[in-house]
């Protein structure tokens, strides 16, 4: 397997684990606070009625999860395009590393309500995707 594809495989696993960790936070807080929004979940886990509102941490985790789902798939598609256009291998490592760090920091700053740091972390991930996009366009039209 070509080394850029190995990087892609590891990046995919790391980003999956990042998404999974957010889901685990949601689940643990729901179980601990016994606040479930869906009737069947409330009946199964607490033998009670569904909650009308999510716990604050669960609501925050929902925001983190939504934001990840808006960014991670696009990044992975761009990384595939980057690798397919035979770009700089070290760029695969650098841009992926920047993106992973930005997503982890974004989640941390989201959970702890830290602005402008959350926005800076988000922008760092966007810059990584813009760099990938620039390399792809250059490779397709000018290489």
Give the domain ranges of the chain.
3-142
Residues 61/26, Cβ–Cβ less than 8 Å:
yes
Phi and psi dihedrals of 118, rounded to 5? -60, -45
* pTM reported for the whole predicted model: 0.93
CATH number of 3-142: 1.20.120.550
Length of the chain: 143
Q: Return the closest-CA partner of residue 110 out of 42, 72, 59.
A: 59
Per-residue pLDDT tens digits of the chain, which is 143 residues long: 579 999 999 999 999 999 999 999 999 999 999 899 898 988 998 888 888 888 999 999 999 999 999 999 999 999 999 999 988 899 999 999 999 999 999 999 999 999 999 999 999 999 999 999 999 999 999 98
Q: Report the SS3 class of residue 133.
A: helix
């Amino acid at each position: 397997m070509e080394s850029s594809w190995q990087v892609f495989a590891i990046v995919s696993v790391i980003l999956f684990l990042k998404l999974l960790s957010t889901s685990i936070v949601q689940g643990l807080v729901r179980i601990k606070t016994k606040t479930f929004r869906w009737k069947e979940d409330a009946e199964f886990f607490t033998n009670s009625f569904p909650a009308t509102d999510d716990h604050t941490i669960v609501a925050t985790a929902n925001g983190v999860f939504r934001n990840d789902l808006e960014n991670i798939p696009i990044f992975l598609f761009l990384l595939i395009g980057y690798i397919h256009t035979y770009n700089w291998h070290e760029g695969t490592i650098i841009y992926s590393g920047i993106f992973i760090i930005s997503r982890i920091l974004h989640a941390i700053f989201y959970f702890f309500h830290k602005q402008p740091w959350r926005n800076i972390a988000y922008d760092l991930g966007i810059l990584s995707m813009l760099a990938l996009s620039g390399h792809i366009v250059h490779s397709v039209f000018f290489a």
